[in-house]
Amino acid sequence: MATRRPQIVAFGGGGFSMESENTLLDDYVLALTEVDRPRICFLPTASGDADHYIVRFYRAFGASRCEPSHLSLFRRETSVADPRAHLLAQDLIYVGGGSVVSLLGTWQAHGLDLALREAWLSGVVLCGGSAGSLCWFSEAVSGFHRGEPRRVLGLGLLPWSNAVHYESEGGRRGAFHTAIRSGMPPGYAANDGAALHFVGSELSQVVSSQAGARAYFVSPDAAGEVVERELPARYLGHDSARCAVAA
């Protein structure tokens, strides 16, 4: 199969960890691999490799429709002998939620930041929600730890900023506006149930698992005021997730 263009699907919130009875976003990212039984690796790093999270992943991604695996970095047994080689052999890498600060620091310590960039450039589809969304961007607003949401640096695969759970968790929207007004790059904000699908570094489309779930492009205008532009979203409940990806 020809090498796919780099793709990232950043959930504002959703997938198996938030919508156990709604598989639309998870079905969508599996279909992007264009493989009948794709290899998918779960990275639960942001949760400290929580056992319950890993169990829920395997329940959601059964062996009947994919080849699931996970990579633990906080355990004596990582479950994978060569993490870089394992990630590069996947069709889809799915990053779980939790603390994006802890996630990025741990990845860097283990060299996974470089391995994930390599996987992305080789055509492995990357996706995730919460911390698993924020991590791919140049900068983001994180509200995981106590206190006000704050700016954090991401991997920079996407040259934009990002905010998740945008209108469902108090303070995120205001913090994102403040950060952009203070010089953070313009970027994308998504609500629970909405997902931003990037091909290369550009947004291809917004898809949603919930009718009415919204996403925005947020940027400063000429006067320095922050402007939100709502983006059109395709509700996956009305269409097959096996769609052609926009060039």
Which residues are catalytically annotated? 130, 165
Using DSSP bridges, classify how beta strands 137-142 and 150-153 pair: parallel, antiparallel or unpaired: antiparallel
Locus of tokens 């700016």: 151
Element at 158 (helix H, strand E): strand 158-163
Q: What are phi and psi of 141, to 5 degrees?
A: -110, 120
**Distance between CA 199 and CA 221 in Å, rounded?**
26
Count Cβ atoms within 10 A of the Cβ of residue 199 and give its class: 0-12 exposed, 13-18 middle, 19 or more buried: middle
Pairwise CA distance, residues 23 & 90, whole Å = 21
> Could you tell me if 245 and 204 are in contact, meaning their C-beta atoms sit under 8 angstroms apart?
yes
Asked if 136 and 154 count as a contact pair (C-beta separation under 8 A), the reply is yes
Closest CA to 131 of 35, 29, 12: 12
- Are the beta carbons of 162 and 140 closer than 8 angstroms? yes
